[in-house]
């Protein structure tokens, strides 16, 4: 077991590193970013932006460093300056970037003129990095500063402000899905081919084919917009709490930001997520339960004269839930990826929406941090799943 | 009917199971799945409508009716006598026409992606399963890891990067022109759609590779493969003649279920603003556009939303029916 764990942790580290390289590479290939607007301003004559300004801004965003150095500073916060060994500085004249690149307009193969970097006027050396602001590296929990969404504030601050909202949403909906989904699935399996089973399996089938975004909109229409227009009791949709006080028929006055207000705002997104989850989970539980009910030990239990209830709850359900561990464990990365679609429909200020905003707004540090955390949590969830399997199912041995 | 009576019948009226071709048996089993049949008919109808989109649609895709924003359904255009069957959208484009053209684009994107995904999956899966060794280990570890990462964040990061940097993946103009003709788009707009195809296929092959590898691993031990090999067949021949045809059943089921998934994913990307962009109509971005006008026109989201749901449901049912028909053991 220990040897297995050590090997797995080693594999995890490699996977995390590779995904870090991949994400960073991907987003750095994308154009745009803080300099996209600058070039346009530079072309309009009202603002005189000198070459020096651009160099300063490039340095500010570390865009003057070459990709490997930039990446290593992002990942582990190094290099910060010349290598010091025994009080002596080495490599201080190593070129690590270009402060003022020469850009020429060249005709590309599509017949369009575009700027290409063709040389360098002023290099950045390793010794210039001394005293530059730098993060301690994403591997050590420092995600750097946000570029756009919350300019110059640490990304972690942004993430932490959004995290509770997503935890609320995912936590509640996972809880409800388990509480409702498992009994439904078990009951369907036990009463296989009855009217109840047919009804719920076809409902679950349709539910899993239903796109979340359409379902969310339908829910808003059915429980928020239409009843509101008709003067009936409704549930608010959008944001996690209201900006001003409002009144709902039958429910009464609701103060903005009160507990009642926040609970009311949770209703729709949580129900959408829960229903979507349930439609997948009941099908899963039902088939795994059916599989188990065919097993010999269930027949043995019945033959011993045990009550049907005990057979199902103790003998069958426990074993049917083993594959379910996977699903539950993988809600962990879900906490960070959030429910992107649900959050965006309901304007829920959680992680998923933050991720969308960051991607849409060229805020690479934020987007990369979220994706990186998702990757790490996925790796951890995989390990957790394998370990949990050995606990819930002693037949499985890790080696 | 006794044996003697059967023997007296003319030979061509007696049909036993053995005389049916495998295809007939599959068709017979498929026909038994009523919802799958209904779905198949429905999808055929939708395909025919989208194929004849230019004939059926009364208006051009980008044609603006000035000063006729959100006209109710059934309004007649006085100047030309054409009917806005479903009214117009917020800038006066005919809803019905856009819906049909959008269907053509959405379905083409989904079909193309699933085709590429399955082909790549089959190739990678069979190589990985057949040859094994370190290549297999590395490939499958990669596939496993990619499959555990939540799909949507990955798709979003890929598409946000690729859509802003469309030149990054060079696509031959011939291909763009050809696909543009299928989707009735200019080559420039077609690039946007092709990007989405590549992104969807880029993640879609993982699952079919895993499936194919599993099939190859079990087929490798079969006696007919051994027989082939003892007759001196090359690896290539064994893979293409013995393995792939025998693995087709689960692959086809996987493809039809995957098609449903791709239609929804493509719509989701467009809905979130990271898919095919607005002047090109797709069901996803039409749905996203209705969100802003939901307060005053609550029925509006149904128009682009229902086709997405219907197609997704239909392909799910067809996949379900195919699974029952092709391999009854696979039934959940």
Count of CB contacts below 8 A, A vs B?
113
pLDDT at B201: 93
pTM for this predicted structure: 0.85
DSSP string, A63-91: TTB-HHHHHHHHHH----SSEEETTEEES
Tokens of B154: 């990955």
pLDDT at A40: 60
Q: Is the pLDDT of residue A336 over 50?
A: yes
Whether residue A287 lies within 8 A of chain B, CB to CB, comes out as yes
Give me the torsion for CA of B94, B95, B99, B101, rounded to 10°.
10
Tokens of A5: 């764990």
Percent of chain B clearing pLDDT 90 (strictly above): 27
Neighbouring CB atoms inside 10 A of B308's CB total 29
Contact between residue B156 and residue A355 where contact means Cβ atoms under 8 Å apart = yes
* Per-residue pLDDT reduced to its tens digit, A109-155: 666 777 777 777 778 887 777 777 777 777 777 777 887 777 778 88
Phi-psi region of B329 (alpha: psi -120 to 50; beta: other; left: phi over 0): alpha
With CB atoms and an 8 Å threshold, state whether A214 touches B301: yes
A326, containing H or E segment? helix A324-329
What letter does residue A206 receive in the DSSP assignment? H
Whether residue A79 has a cis bond before it, omega within 30° of 0: yes
Tokens of A333: 């990365």
pLDDT at A179: 92
CA pair distance A73, A134, nearest whole angstrom: 7
**Please, which pLDDT band fits residue A338 given cuts at 50, 70 and 90?**
low
3-state secondary structure of A247: strand
Contact between residue B238 and residue B225 where contact means Cβ atoms under 8 Å apart = yes
Contact between residue B214 and residue B253 where contact means Cβ atoms under 8 Å apart = no
CATH of A157-392, one of 3.40.1440.10, 3.30.420.140, 1.10.3720.10, 1.20.1250.20: 1.10.3720.10
* Per-residue pLDDT reduced to its tens digit, B293-307: 888 888 888 888 999
Interface of A with B in 212-231 (CB under 8 A): 212-214, 217-218, 220-221, 225-226, 229
Pairing relationship of beta strands A95-107 and A113-125 according to DSSP bridges: antiparallel
Give A75→chain B minimum CA distance, Å: 19
Tokens of A245: 């006080």
Angle between helices B95-131 and B302-326 (to 10 degrees): 30
Give A257→chain B minimum CA distance, Å: 24
Whether residue B157 has a cis bond before it, omega within 30° of 0: no
With CB atoms and an 8 Å threshold, state whether B312 touches A337: no
Contact between residue A220 and residue A271 where contact means Cβ atoms under 8 Å apart = no
| Diameter over CA atoms, chain A | 91
With CB atoms and an 8 Å threshold, state whether A31 touches B164: yes
Residues of B in contact with A378 (CB under 8 A): 145, 148-150
Query: In chain A, where are the structural domains located?
Result: 39-142, 157-392
CA pair distance B140, B125, nearest whole angstrom: 9
The per-residue pLDDT of chain B, averaged, comes to 84
Question: Of B154, B201, B149, which Cα lies nearest the Cα of A15?
Answer: B149
With CB atoms and an 8 Å threshold, state whether A356 touches B264: no
* Per-residue pLDDT reduced to its tens digit, B33-58: 888 899 999 999 999 999 888 888 77
């Amino acid at each position: 077991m220990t040897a297995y764990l050590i090997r797995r942790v080693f594999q995890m580290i490699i996977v995390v590193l590779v995904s870090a390289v991949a994400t960073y590479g991907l987003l750095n290939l994308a154009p745009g970013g803080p300099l996209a607007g600058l070039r346009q301003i530079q072309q309009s004559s009202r603002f005189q932006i000198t070459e020096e300004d651009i160099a300063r801004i490039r340095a500010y965003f570390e865009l003057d460093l070459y990709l490997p150095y930039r990446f290593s500073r992002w990942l582990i916060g190094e290099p910060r300056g010349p290598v010091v060994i025994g009080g002596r500085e080495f490599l201080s004249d190593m070129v690590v970037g270009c402060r003022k690149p020469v850009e020429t307009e060249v005709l590309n193969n599509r017949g369009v003129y575009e700027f290409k970097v063709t040389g360098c006027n002023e290099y950045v050396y390793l010794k210039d990095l001394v005293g530059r602001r730098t993060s301690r590296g994403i591997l050590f929990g420092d995600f750097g500063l946000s570029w756009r969404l919350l300019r110059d504030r640490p990304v972690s601050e942004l993430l932490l402000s959004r995290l509770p909202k997503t935890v609320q949403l995912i936590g509640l909906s996972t809880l409800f899905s388990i509480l409702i989904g498992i009994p439904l699935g078990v009951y369907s399996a036990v009463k296989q081919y009855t009217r109840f089973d047919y009804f719920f399996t076809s409902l679950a089938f349709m539910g899993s084919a239903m796109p979340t975004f359409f379902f969310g909109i339908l829910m808003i229409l059915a429980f928020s917009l239409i009843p509101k227009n008709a003067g009936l009791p409704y549930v608010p949709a959008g944001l996690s709490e209201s900006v001003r006080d409002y009144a709902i028929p039958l429910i009464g006055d609701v103060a903005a930001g009160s507990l009642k207000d926040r609970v009311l705002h949770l209703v729709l997104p949580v129900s959408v997520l829960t229903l979507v989850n349930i439609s997948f989970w009941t099908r899963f539980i039902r088939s795994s339960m059916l599989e188990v009910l065919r097993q010999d030990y269930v027949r043995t239990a019945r033959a011993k004269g045990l009550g049907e209830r005990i057979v199902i709850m103790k003998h069958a359900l426990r074993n049917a839930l083993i594959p379910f561990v996977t699903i539950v464990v993988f809600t962990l990365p879900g906490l960070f990826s959030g429910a992107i679609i649900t959050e965006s429909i309901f304007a829920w200020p959680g992680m998923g929406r933050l991720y969308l905003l960051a991607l849409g707004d060229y805020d690479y540090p934020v987007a990369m941090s979220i994706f990186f955390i998702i990757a790490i949590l996925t790796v951890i969830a995989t390990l957790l799943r394998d370990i949990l399997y050995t606990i819930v199912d002693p037949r499985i041995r890790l080696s | 009917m006794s044996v003697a009576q059967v023997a007296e019948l003319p030979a061509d009226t007696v049909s036993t199971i053995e005389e049916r071709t495998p295809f007939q048996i599959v068709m017979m089993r498929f026909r038994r799945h009523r919802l799958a049949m209904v779905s198949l008919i429905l999808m055929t109808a939708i395909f025919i409508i989208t194929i004849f989109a230019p004939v059926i649609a009364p208006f051009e895709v980008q044609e603006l009716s000035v000063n006729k924003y959100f006209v109710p359904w059934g309004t007649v255009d006085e100047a030309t006598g054409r009917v806005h069957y479903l009214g117009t959208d917020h800038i006066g484009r005919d809803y019905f026409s856009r819906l049909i053209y959008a269907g053509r684009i959405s379905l083409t994107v989904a079909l193309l992606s699933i085709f590429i995904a399955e082909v790549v999956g089959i190739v990678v899966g069979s190589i990985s399963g057949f040859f094994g060794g370190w290549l297999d280990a590395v490939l499958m570890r990669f596939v496993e890891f990619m499959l555990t990462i939540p799909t949507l964040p990955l798709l979003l990061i890929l598409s946000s990067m690729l859509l802003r940097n469309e030149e990054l993946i060079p696509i031959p103009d011939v291909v763009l022109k050809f696909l543009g003709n299928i989707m009735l788009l200019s080559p420039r707009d077609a690039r946007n759609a092709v990007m989405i195809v590549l992104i969807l296929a880029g993640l879609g092959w993982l699952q079919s590779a895993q499936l194919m590898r599993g099939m190859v691993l079990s087929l490798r031990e079969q006696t007919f493969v051994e027989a082939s090999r003892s007759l001196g067949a090359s690896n290539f021949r064994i893979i293409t003649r013995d393995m792939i045809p025998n693995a087709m059943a689960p692959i086809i089921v996987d493809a039809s279920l995957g098609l449903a998934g791709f239609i929804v994913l493509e719509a989701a990307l467009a809905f979130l603003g990271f898919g095919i962009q607005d002047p090109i109509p797709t069901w996803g971005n039409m749905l996203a556009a209705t969100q802003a006008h939901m307060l005053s026109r609550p029925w509006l989201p149904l128009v682009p939303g229902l086709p997405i749901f219907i197609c997704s449901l239909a392909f799910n049912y067809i996949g379900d029916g195919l699974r029952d028909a092709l391999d009854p053991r696979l039934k959940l």
